[in-house]
A = this chain, B = another copy of it.
Amino acid sequence: MENIKAVIEALIFASDAPLSLEKICIILSDVEKQEIKEALEKIVLEYNERQSGIYLQEVAGGFQFRTRPELSPWIKKLKSTKPHSLSPAAMETLAIVAYKQPIVKSEIESIRGVDVGAPLKGLLDKKLIRIVGRKDVPGKPIIYGTTRKFLEVFNLKDLLDLPNLRELKELNQQQEIVEQEIVEKTTEDISNL
């Protein structure tokens, strides 16, 4: 193919959600995965070098063009819609779900020290978290996890892209195991998308 880069650029641009490497590979079935990867890297570089108004971001298991964060004051002038803002309670609840998923309500409450019914409901409504299943213990409590939209909204490649928690490691030796589980879960999530 003459211009893989142009095709990939167009595909990512036209996709209404972050476009995964896998999907690009399916569409460009004649091109090697490695070649596609290299083209993606080149596109990222080019947009950065050009000091363009948009850039290619790896987010939610895919690639998406986004406007540069520093230009947001101008975009806000263009858009009349207000961005959805989260209350501190919702933000904290979301952080806990993000880092400790899969997690049940009572576990979140033991960390926050307060009832989290309302913030959980709000986060579900905003589709930032989702019900992953039910825990196989008495009462069958609902298990929560974050959604792909969470990754999209917070500009995250995947859950491993979450900034490291400073003190959590000391507190929780099992952290690595948890992270391993998160990786597995994420891989699953992405393949389910």
Contact call A67/B27, Cβ cutoff below 8 A? no
Interface residue from B14, B27, B131, B191 paired with A190 (Cβ < 8 Å)? B131
Identical chains bound together, number? 2
Contact call A81/B6, Cβ cutoff below 8 A? no
The interface bits of chain A over 11-25 (1 if a CB of B lies within 8 angstroms of the residue's CB, else 0) are: 101110001000100
Which among A71-79, A93-101, A110-118, A164-172 touches the partner chain? Answer: A71-79
Interface centre among A6, A83, A142 (most CB of B within 10 A): A6
Interface residue from B13, B52, B81, B131 paired with A23 (Cβ < 8 Å)? B81
Task: State the A residues within 8 Å of B (CB).
Answer: 3, 5-11, 13-15, 19, 23, 26-28, 46, 50-54, 65, 67-68, 71, 74-75, 77-79, 81, 83, 130-134, 142, 184, 187-188, 190-193
